[in-house]
Amino acid sequence: MRIALAQLDLVIGDVEGNVTRMLEAAADATAKGAEVVLFPELATTGYPPRDLLNLSWFVRDADAALSRFVRELPDGLVAIFGAPRRREGGRGGRALTNSAVVAARGRVLLEVPKALLPTYDVFDERRYFEPAPLDVPRVVSIAGRRVGVTVCEDMWNDRLLWADDRLYDRDPVAECLEQGAEVVVNVSASPYSKGKSQTRRRLVSHAATRWRVPLAYVNAVGGQDGLLFDGGSLVVAADGALVTELPVFEERVAVVDLSERAEEPAVDELDRLGRALVMGTRDYARKTNMPRFCLGLSGGIDSALALVLGALALGPDAAVTFGLPSRYSSEHSIADARALADALGVRFEVVSIDPAHRAYEQMLEPVLATAPAAAGDVTWENVQARARGAALMAWANRTGALLLTTGNKSECAVGYSTLYGDSCGGLAVIADLFKLEVYALARHLNDRRVGGAIPESTLTKPPSAELRPGQRDDESLPPYEVLDPILRCLIEDELGVDETARRTAADEALVRGIAVKVLRAEYKRRQFAPTLRVSNRSWTGRDFPIAMRARP
């Protein structure tokens, strides 16, 4: 059997445009000799469409686009693709399924609703969909082979692989085999996170070898708000050997024969991380019609990495950067910022915030009853950050540029940022990277992608917001070598204070204080720009209350 994997970057809500892209891919697959072509989960609508599915007109448009796709399919080709489908009845009057549709030109051969509907982390599919009934037909004959059909999460519940962590009582892959499947396919929209591609490959290989059937898996690619889809579609033979694996973070239509074999590709996770963020920045800008971007370039590591990612995504000509010095800014900060901008070929403007800073002091000193020069007064420090934010937003408003926010995950976690100041922006490009990850990725991209454009002093200077004379981050926070492992335990592993202290060998009182900061900063994170998600526990998907009295 010759199977085409159509790994496409589709746009949420653009049902006509998506179907046009799918028909082009189907024609390409036919020209390459495919008998069946696989498209991602909810391909017609893009994934995840969220509350668009509550709009009756949107569902009608999606139905009409699906009908057009089936009507215009090339002769001799079977397509398996994801789409929302109506069904009779349903709880609470809801009558939609997240289905894989099997179609040939002019007719639908089978519809297989998704059985396992995730409701954790970034997923909330039970909000919109009904699960497949137990007796749903899953197998269809294509080119003389009996093909079993599953949708994304349907493959993630094998009782042998997830013995201690099964979330559901049924296994749709096993149901395919019970109905006589000789080949199993999975149409998916599985978001990227660090290390997830190896998990997926292990999952697909395990299913193939356990059931002794070839397995074809197609995944979405592209950025959808903060979710990043990496593709990496693959086909595995019945003995677990890799038949093919498509490149990550690239659109591709590839045709494979189940008798082929391929070598296991090498995985460089740091390279994939950089490519994920570049793709996410590019797609967010493209899909929101903001092809230009701007940011405040401080000479520090965070804004340097954000600029490199933006320039790689949209090109240096699309960028305008600003040095926004106050009376406390060091000369080397502006020098480092200018050096990076010049090396990348990016426009750099210096706009002093000192006039605005002094005007705010003169205006507010009588009512705040605090001398502006009071050391360590966070209020006056925040005034500077907000003056910078106002300047950057003015440029973004005037030009329609996308303002990139430069805060990292370590700062976001403990609230080490200023609302309406350095948190201003339309996209938080590195807010899911801990500070040490920022350094690692910056060095990687500096060496591999931008020819050493980031000055060495930016990579080695002590981190500082420069909001008062001689300020350093480690005066307010533990060193990042101490802080980041604690935050990883508290946030990504969701451990308690005592277990975090044991795992990191940190003082329990220190850990408790950090845990309190994380909880108290929730109100700030609620107001952040959309964050590109690259970890298994990003700010996207967290749902903590703001007004509460829980204390670790």
End-of-domain residue from the set 434, 469, 504:
469
| Span 493-509, average pLDDT | 97
Stretch 333-360: mean pLDDT: 96
Whether residue 92 has pLDDT greater than 80: no
Confidence (pLDDT) at 265? 84
Last residue of a domain, one of 265, 289, 305: 265
521 within domain boundaries: no
Task: Please name which of 405, 377, 445 lies closest in space to residue 525, comparing C-alpha atoms.
Answer: 405
8 and 61 share one domain: yes
pLDDT for residue 469: 65
Q: Is residue 109 part of a domain?
A: yes
Which of 401-405, 433-437, 514-518, 542-546 has the least mean pLDDT?
542-546
Greater confidence (487 vs 94) lies with 487
Instruction: Tell me which of 139-148, 247-256, 446-455, 466-475 is least confident.
Output: 466-475
Range 42-69 average pLDDT: 97
- Is there a single domain that holds both residue 376 and residue 441? yes
Residue 466 confidence (pLDDT): 58
Check whether residue 255 and residue 280 sit in a common domain: no
User: Do 304 and 337 reside in the same domain of the chain?
Assistant: yes
Per-residue tokens: 178: 């019970």
Mean pLDDT value across residues 408-431: 95
pLDDT of residue 158: 86
Average the pLDDT over 87-114 and give the result.
Answer: 87
Helices and strands in the chain, H and E counts:
16, 19
Give the pLDDT band of residue 165 (cuts 50, 70, 90).
confident
Q: Would you say residue 468 has pLDDT above 70?
A: no
- In this structure, are 85 and 232 located in the same domain? yes
If asked whether residues 234 and 323 sit together in one domain, one would say no
Residue 522 lies in a domain: no
> Which of 265, 289, 322 lies at the terminal end of a domain, its last residue?
265
Q: What is the CATH number of the domain that holds 116?
A: 3.60.110.10
Residues 313 and 240 in one domain: no
Question: Which sequence positions are flagged as catalytic?
Answer: 41, 114, 152
Q: In this prediction, what percent of the chain has a pLDDT beyond 90? A: 85
Would you say residue 492 lies in a domain? no
Indicate if 313 and 284 belong to the same structural domain.
Answer: yes
Per-residue pLDDT at 541: 86
Q: Where are the beta strands (DSSP E) in 366-428?
A: 402-405, 427-428
pLDDT at 473 > cutoff 80: no
Q: What is the pLDDT of residue 264?
A: 84
Q: Is residue 326 part of a domain?
A: yes
Q: Mark whether 73 and 222 lie in a shared domain.
A: yes
Cβ atoms 500, 490 nearer than 8 A: yes
Give the pLDDT of residue 465. Answer: 64
How much is the average pLDDT of 444-457?
Answer: 97
Same domain membership, residue 77 and residue 31: yes
pLDDT at 478 over 70: yes
Residue 514 included in any domain: no
User: Is residue 186 located within the same domain as residue 75?
Assistant: yes
In this predicted structure, the answer to whether residue 317 has a pLDDT above a threshold of 90 is yes
CATH code of 393's domain:
3.40.50.620
pLDDT band at 420 (very low <50, low <70, confident <90, very high): very high
Cα dist. 335→301, 325, 332, 340, 484 in Å? 14, 11, 5, 9, 29
377 and 260, same domain (yes or no): no
pLDDT at res. 89:
63
Residue 140, helix vs strand vs coil: strand
Tell whether 278 is covered by a domain.
yes
pLDDT of amino acid 376 = 63
Per the structure, the complete domain to which residue 156 belongs is given by 2-265
* pLDDT value at residue 34: 97
Question: Mean pLDDT throughout 189-213?
Answer: 95
**Whole-angstrom distance, CA of residue 39 vs CA of residue 48:** 15
Mean pLDDT of the chain: 94
Q: Are 234 and 204 in contact (CB under 8 A)?
A: yes
Number of domains making up the chain: 2
15 pLDDT more than 70? yes
Closest CA to 413 of 442, 383, 396, 434: 434
- pTM, two decimal places: 0.95
